[in-house]
Amino acid sequence: MISKLNNRMPYCMRRAGLLGVTLSAVLIAAFATPAAAEYPDHPIRLIVPQAAGSATDTLARLVAATAGPELGQTIIVEDRPGGALTLGLDMLAKSPPDGYTIGMGPIGALAITRHMVTKLPYNIERDFQPICMVTRGHLLLAVSPSLPVHSVKELIAYAKAHPGQLFNASSSIGSPGHVGAELFKFMTDTKITHVPYKGGADAIKDLMAGRVQVMFESLNSIAPFAHNKQLRALAVSGLHRSPAFPELPTIAEAGVPGYDASTWSGVIAPAGIPRSIVDKLNAAINRGLASKLFKDKITAIGDETVGGTPEYFAATIAKDSAVWRGVVQRIGLKFSH
């Protein structure tokens, strides 16, 4: 009977009834399905491929402190040292590309180690997405206060007079300090024994105590000890002097023409991360870099705040990787793990 009545209803009324049923179904479905959460809706992990207290770890904590509030989420720093900087990067490469696991990409990991390790478990270009370059800086060439050396030329002379008897510390195999020292030894024809540590903090302690005599280390971890005269600073590794140590020459100025071991670090993510999340992370990090907290800390260290686009960071990685490939091949550095 109802069916017959429906058939007798005007077409417009029947259509209005169907539209009403359809609209009701849509509204019920909309309210029954929770809205997609806007990124980020929970804490973000920031993986560091070096130990706590290292230059990269120190920088990561500063990035977390300044970019986290810009994102409205906590950024948790997680140190994963080992394997010539490869363990942390391998973990990052295998993480979901959802923006909740990102990592620090120092020059050692992205442009140097790749040419030293015989079988990397990842491919830099294929498996990582550059997010934002953070800083550019120097290594500091420092010696133990107990070593009777006060200049780069005196260090070269002492090393030649005592071949193999000096020990140079580094925060890890494949770190900029390790390769910067190897470049120095190659260019000066000196024999100094490398002693790798699992982080810069312990290496610096042993340098101050005289258990090792020489170290090339990033300014952001070693500068306070140099300022306090707990070790003796000789020179900086870049092409120009550091504003934090204007009295110190570059290594090139001090007797090794052509020497350059500048450093940089940035934030990277697993490949495949959506571009909308890349842009949100990049914008938050850039705003953090512009903060007074970040600028004051980096200026005090003597490094330079960079920032910029993901594409700028990618181009820097490619350019410096080509430079360090030639250096590593010339020196003959290889590492199996």
- Over the stretch 158-205, which tens digit does the pLDDT of each residue have? 999 999 999 999 988 888 899 999 999 999 999 999 999 988 889 999
Residue 135's pLDDT band, with cuts at 50, 70 and 90, is very high
User: What's the maximum distance between 2 C-alpha atoms anywhere in the chain?
Assistant: 112
Tell me the domains of the chain and their CATH numbers.
44-136+262-331 (3.40.190.150), 139-236 (3.40.190.10)
pLDDT in tens, 252-274: 999 999 999 999 999 999 999 99
Mean pLDDT within 271-283:
98
* Peptide bond between residue 40 and the one before it cis (omega within 30 degrees of 0): yes
DSSP label at residue 213: -
pLDDT in tens, 7-60: 444 544 444 444 444 444 444 444 444 445 799 999 999 999 988 888 899 999
φ, ψ at 313 (rounded to 5°): -65, -45
| ∠ Cα 288 138 102 (to 5°) | 40
At 36 the pLDDT is 55
This model's pTM is above 0.85? no
Mean pLDDT within 293-309:
93
For 242-302, give the DSSP string. -TT-TTSPBTTTTT-TT----EEEEEEEETT--HHHHHHHHHHHHHHHTSHHHHHHHHHHT
